[in-house]
């Protein structure tokens, strides 16, 4: 685990969105994450770094993966982790969001991880309470720990972010993962290409500073990293594309499409994957996919975030 605090550039109280972080802070977080990865590989996977600290996982929408990842991360740091889900709390009883945040804060946790379907929820929470807020995903807005674990995965496989060709394919419009990665990759000077049907690309996508195409072969040409996004079936009923079958025809990452990438490309996916829709089984299970590393890195990166936010300061 890290001891040389001068290397840790992130000293923030909250983690709301990647756009708030400097390139140095992002690098500091990646390095801390890589060090914590080692803890997960030990026989005894527990360090006392956050003993006596309380972390609340406040989930307004269900997400077993992210919640479990934060929970394991907190427990490996010896923190007390409490999970509160919308259905099990007073959230559904007409209490306002502000009331809920104030009530949880009044119990004096060291950090609250918030997952919410509304964009901006974590930011609003951070304005309501003095407690540290970690955004565990808010609507289509941001998912900073996902972006950080993705970057950590890239950092481990690639030398440098500078001029790295990263292609993101899929439902950009509704994706907090895409937004967070775009912000972070821009800070690190990577070249970004976005690929989606126009109906799944936000109007004014020029704000992303990325190359934009609807042709997946063009999109992945020369790519060092390809990130596939999960397609939500319910988008079909919204008139955004006709069928999963037709979506797959134009946007599925297949061995055929893979021919266009660099040989040492890595294939990422935030999970859970839809086999045969956005990614073929051959590719998902192939040697270029790093999807399960991402899951492992999720725990390490969340340990890094919790450590730096709850325990990294000297006065505590």
Q: Angle, to 10 degrees, between the axis of helix 64-76 and the axis of helix 291-306?
A: 50
Burial call 135-173: b when 16+ CB within 10 Å, e when fewer: bbbbbbbbbbbbbbbbbbbbbeeeeebeebbbbbbbbbb
Q: Angle, to 10 degrees, between the axis of helix 144-157 and the axis of helix 176-187?
A: 50
User: Of 101 and 291, which CB lies nearer to other proteins in the complex structure?
Assistant: 101
User: Of 121 and 155, which CB lies nearer to other proteins in the complex structure?
Assistant: 121
CB of 118 to other proteins, least distance (A): 4
User: Of 98 and 245, which CB lies nearer to other proteins in the complex structure?
Assistant: 98
CB of 200 to other proteins, least distance (A): 12
Tokens, residue 276 = 């045969």
CB of 181 to other proteins, least distance (A): 13
User: Of 47 and 84, which CB lies nearer to other proteins in the complex structure?
Assistant: 84
Rounded CA-CA distance 243/232 in Å is 11
Strands 132-138, 191-195: pairing is unpaired
The number of residues making up the chain comes to 316
CB of 202 to other proteins, least distance (A): 4
Rounded CA-CA distance 287/301 in Å is 23
CB of 92 to other proteins, least distance (A): 13
- Give yes or no for a contact between 298 and 144, defined as CB atoms under 8 angstroms apart: no
Helix ranges, the chain (H): 23-40, 64-76, 97-106, 121-128, 144-157, 176-187, 216-220, 244-251, 255-258, 281-284, 291-306
CB of 30 to other proteins, least distance (A): 23
Rounded CA-CA distance 81/71 in Å is 6
Classify 174 as helix, strand or coil.
Answer: coil
User: Of 2 and 137, which CB lies nearer to other proteins in the complex structure?
Assistant: 137
CB of 168 to other proteins, least distance (A): 14
User: Of 44 and 207, which CB lies nearer to other proteins in the complex structure?
Assistant: 207
User: Of 34 and 102, which CB lies nearer to other proteins in the complex structure?
Assistant: 102
CB of 241 to other proteins, least distance (A): 17
Q: List contacts with other proteins (CB under 8 A).
A: 96-98, 116, 118-121, 123-124, 139-142, 174-176, 179, 202-205, 207-208
User: Of 233 and 238, which CB lies nearer to other proteins in the complex structure?
Assistant: 238
């Amino acid at each position: 685990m890290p001891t040389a605090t001068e290397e840790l550039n992130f000293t923030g109280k909250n983690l709301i969105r990647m756009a708030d972080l400097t390139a140095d802070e992002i690098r500091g977080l990646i390095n801390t994450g890589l060090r914590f990865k080692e803890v997960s590989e030990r026989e005894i996977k527990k360090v006392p770094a956050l003993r006596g600290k309380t972390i609340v996982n406040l989930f307004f929408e269900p997400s077993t993966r992210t919640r479990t990842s934060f929970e394991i991360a907190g427990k490996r740091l010896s923190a007390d982790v409490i999970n509160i889900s919308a259905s099990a709390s007073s959230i559904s009883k007409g209490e306002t969001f502000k009331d809920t945040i104030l009530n949880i804060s009044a119990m004096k946790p060291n950090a609250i991880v918030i997952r919410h379907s509304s964009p901006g929820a974590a930011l609003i929470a951070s304005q309501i309470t003095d407690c540290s807020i970690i955004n565990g995903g808010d609507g289509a807005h941001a998912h900073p720990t996902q972006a950080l674990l993705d970057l950590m995965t890239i950092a481990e496989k690639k030398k440098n972010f500078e001029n790295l060709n990263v292609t993101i394919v899929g439902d950009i419009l509704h994706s907090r993962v895409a937004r967070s990665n775009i912000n972070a990759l821009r800070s690190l000077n990577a070249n970004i290409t976005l690929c989606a049907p126009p109906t799944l690309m936000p109007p004014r996508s020029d704000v992303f500073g990325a190359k934009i195409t609807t042709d997946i072969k063009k999109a992945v040409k020369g790519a060092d990293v390809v990130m596939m996004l999960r397609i939500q079936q319910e988008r079909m009923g919204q008139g955004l594309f006709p069928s999963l079958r037709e979506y797959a025809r134009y946007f599925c990452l297949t061995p055929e499409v893979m021919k266009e990438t660099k040989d040492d490309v890595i294939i990422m996916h935030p999970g859970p994957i839809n086999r045969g829709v956005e990614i073929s089984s051959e590719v998902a299970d192939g040697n270029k996919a790093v999807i399960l590393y991402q899951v492992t890195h999720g725990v390490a990166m969340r340990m890094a975030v919790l450590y730096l936010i709850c325990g990294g300061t000297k006065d505590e």
